[in-house]
Amino acid sequence: MKFLVIGAGNIARRHIRNLKQLLPTAAITLWRRQPGIDDPDLARLIQRVVTSEAEAFLEQYDAAIVASPAPLHVPTAQQLAEKGVHLFIEKPFSNTLDGIDTLITTCEKNNCVLMVGYNLRFHAALQAMHAAIGRIGRVLSLRAEVGQYLPDWRPGKDYRTSVSAQWRLGGGVIFELSHELDY
């Protein structure tokens, strides 16, 4: 199977490692802004690095992992869906609602799987709680607390330059810590 991974941040790298663990023969193309890859262990897992949309779209892929900054998710995913590529989009889906309905319609028309990376919905405790809600009764209130001190989030990286700290790239607490809104 052929995969396109868009983005080279922490989560994209994790997805590449997981993908190769699940499908050792997967052929992975990495689309990132800079040429090459600075991590030799990761470099062994990918077949090709591209730095432009034109290069990325020279090939046909079975599926793509969209792990770029949130404002870029929908336009890129739309182009891939038009080619019939299955999509896994890292959360948040986008930083606006623009284009989401069109993307969903395109995926339905082309029989593309479209999934957003909200992994907490698969957590056993949350699934058990969800199943119990129907038996217990109607939900009247929910309180969830979450927080993160950005300097501690990604050790070794200046948090001020990360997507998480930049609203224009889809960062900020409402997008970065949106798992709780999802579950």
Per residue in 112-155, pLDDT (tens digit) is 999 999 888 889 998 998 888 878 888 888 887 887 787 887 77
97, 117, 137 - which closes a domain: 117
More confident residue, 95 or 15: 15
Question: Mean pLDDT throughout 52-62?
Answer: 94
Name the domain count of the chain. 2
User: Do both 125 and 166 map to the same domain?
Assistant: yes
* 8 Å CB contact between 67 and 93: no
Mean pLDDT of the chain, nearest integer: 88
pTM of the predicted protein model = 0.82
Residue 105: CATH number of its domain: 3.40.50.720
**Beta-carbon count within 10 A of 150 CB:** 16
Name which of 51, 47, 48, 49 is nearest 33 in CA terms.
Answer: 51
Q: What's the chain's Rg over C-alpha atoms?
A: 18
Q: What is the DSSP code (8-state) at residue 70? A: G
Question: Mean pLDDT throughout 81-95?
Answer: 93
96, 117, 138 - which closes a domain: 117
